[in-house]
Structure 1
């Protein structure tokens, strides 16, 4: 029951003995760890280079602008070997994050170069996430998808628990540039882990029809599949709100609340603990409630926690509220991923995921820039409160999802 079974679309090994998915999950942990450091380092670089909330919004918008390229990412994931795409993206991010870190340490990093680097890293990340989502069903049996998505969410949450405090300490002792170099090395290690996977992407082949026809197949499938359509519509509102919040979060904690970089790292790490708790609760709730109910209550809880976050300046209350928000998100994410994978045929997997990401993330660049504008005029707390209101409002749409 080796590679032949994978190639023929047969029964894959059980989850405990499935070495191929273990390699992929290991690469995820490594890159997730580095990503958490990136999320602290880049805003601090912008703050150091400009001191402007508007520039912070522009940097975040540059990183999120590649979401508009999701149709291309979906077609690539369905036409090319998904494993090779993962390797290309990991190597590209390794080079770019390392270069930005070195330039910052050398005091030779113009702000426009940082923006271009953030955009390019965002392109690689979009392609990677879409290709990985589509690749997972090639590695595991269908009945193991929910477990794998939960494990992947738990891995992300564990990295959120561990990495920010470590990254905050490194950055406070050395420099944000040092943090990016650590992030760069994490991508190199993730590249090595993916390179060890021997399973090709079954059923993926070049198609004779045009790029646009390929992309339209994904759109049509999402639009006619009610659970996908309404879930994506709810996520559009939710992601708009959380992007407002996340864009200004580090700036808010550093410039408004006046926390140290190490305290920011501690706060973010505690949010990882909340997310791990949410992952544990997800397994319990999945057996007792429908996806629709879980998504509704998690979205509402997460949104309200963000609103309250904007009203407080007490460190431990901020920790508690941020942990509640990440716990809610960690319940939602595996539900959404499993729902998409269960209702989508393999040959459409990349394009459906790309279409869903485009629908739900299309407002992210504008929201990121808007966060900077609102913060400049009304303050960072106003940005966070407005973001939380949008996220809470999204919960009402899940009632229509029928998931």
Structure 2
């Protein structure tokens, strides 16, 4: 019997004693740490090469185009060994991002290389995230899913709190290329952590079926499960709004407001600090508030924080507004993830996640491109204001009746 089979035959331990899950979260902390440095370094590389908000919009759009490949990612994650997928994605990103950092340091990189790298990074990110989502229920008990997803969101925002300030100093004192190299090593550490985990999956059994059949099975399940369908519809529009905001965030703070890389880093870090608390109270709120109320409240308040962000220019105001937005995101995100995991059978997990991401993220490439166009020809403030308005309107979809009794439906399943 393999280690994976032995693990499956055992009753999973409680979360506080589940060293597999704790190691998994620790590895994510390191990866998230590197990602936050990337979010500062990569846009500044684009600005250094072109000085154009439109170029940043193009890069962001290219990085998000692989969202449209989510149905393929879902089938692969259900058909293949998920652990091997995670290892491949981590190791290849380690090599790719390290190479970009070195090329930038020696000033032998072009914007077209960044375009190509953005696409590959996007492909690997989509495949990794889908496979990781489907692997989590193999590590923990079902009753611990709310908790582990909240903790995972919490460590993400811990990275958001700690890494941007450090990343800003690195970029200012050294070079964006150095930040990219540091990010690459975070993926290598993630590779080592995944290597140590037992996350073998139940692959699809029975006769070989066509790719179209497997993809359609995921779509049919989501459409049938109305709570999943309507959260996806709400996120379809809200993600478009937040994409407008996030694409222009660094450019807005640097080019229009005039903040230094260090100030930008600290502003993002302050947002991460508040979001840590949001992630930690998410399971507490879930025990007292329905999914419907929680998702609507976070969506509306988060959208309002983005809208107001476009009107202010002081560091304190912008930091507080960013913190409010990240708190709302850190409360709602674990709820949506847990809802999908609890309502979906294990053999369909990757495809349902992929289908949901395809449905909710389909407008991300367009949103990034629109953000670049509005930022280039009107202003980055207008881009952010439009994004906030769209997010506020989208939050009302969470009030659909299918989400009213979702906790009861979840228990019945």
**With structure 2 as the length reference, what TM-score do the two structures score?**
0.95
Instruction: Identify the residue that residue 383 of structure 1 maps to in structure 2.
Output: 383
- Once residues 228 and 188 of structure 2 are traced to their aligned partners in structure 1, the CA distance between those partners, rounded to angstroms, is 34
Q: What are the equivalent positions in structure 2 for 1:209-228 lying under 5 Å apart?
A: 209-228=209-228
Instruction: Identify the residue that residue 89 of structure 2 maps to in structure 1.
Output: 89
Query: Are the aligned partners of 1:53 and 1:376 in contact in 2 as well (CA < 8 Å)?
Result: yes
Q: What are the equivalent positions in structure 2 for 1:190-339 lying under 5 Å apart?
A: 190-203=190-203, 208-339=208-339
- Note the C-alpha offset of 1:19: 1.9
- Once residues 218 and 207 of structure 1 are traced to their aligned partners in structure 2, the CA distance between those partners, rounded to angstroms, is 18
Task: Report how many residues are paired.
Answer: 401
- Note the C-alpha offset of 1:199: 4.0
**Aligned to 2:310, what secondary structure does the other structure show?**
helix
- Note the C-alpha offset of 1:103: 0.7
Segments of 5+ residues of structure 2 without an aligned counterpart are: 407-413
Instruction: Identify the residue that residue 134 of structure 1 maps to in structure 2.
Output: 134
- Once residues 169 and 222 of structure 1 are traced to their aligned partners in structure 2, the CA distance between those partners, rounded to angstroms, is 44
Segments of 5+ residues of structure 1 without an aligned counterpart are: none
Per-residue displacement from partner, 1:126-174 (whole Å, max 9, x unpaired)? Answer: 0000000000111111111111100100010100000000111101101
Moved more, 87-96 or 12-21: 12-21
Query: Are the aligned partners of 1:31 and 1:190 in contact in 2 as well (CA < 8 Å)?
Result: yes
- Note the C-alpha offset of 1:6: 3.1
Moved more, 12-21 or 305-314: 12-21
Per-residue displacement from partner, 1:266-320 (whole Å, max 9, x unpaired)? Answer: 0000010111121233233212110110000000000000000000001100000
What's the RMSD between the two structures over aligned residues?
1.3
Change in CA separation of 1:280 and 1:27 when aligned onto 2, cut-off 3 Å: closer
- Note the C-alpha offset of 1:5: 4.7
- Once residues 6 and 55 of structure 1 are traced to their aligned partners in structure 2, the CA distance between those partners, rounded to angstroms, is 48
- Once residues 12 and 199 of structure 1 are traced to their aligned partners in structure 2, the CA distance between those partners, rounded to angstroms, is 12
**Aligned to 2:92, what secondary structure does the other structure show?**
helix
Query: Are the aligned partners of 1:80 and 1:205 in contact in 2 as well (CA < 8 Å)?
Result: no
Query: Are the aligned partners of 2:168 and 2:264 in contact in 1 as well (CA < 8 Å)?
Result: yes
- Note the C-alpha offset of 1:184: 0.2
Per-residue displacement from partner, 1:191-222 (whole Å, max 9, x unpaired)? Answer: 01111113422455586001111111000100
Per-residue displacement from partner, 1:75-108 (whole Å, max 9, x unpaired)? Answer: 0110111111110100111011111111111101
**With structure 1 as the length reference, what TM-score do the two structures score?**
0.97
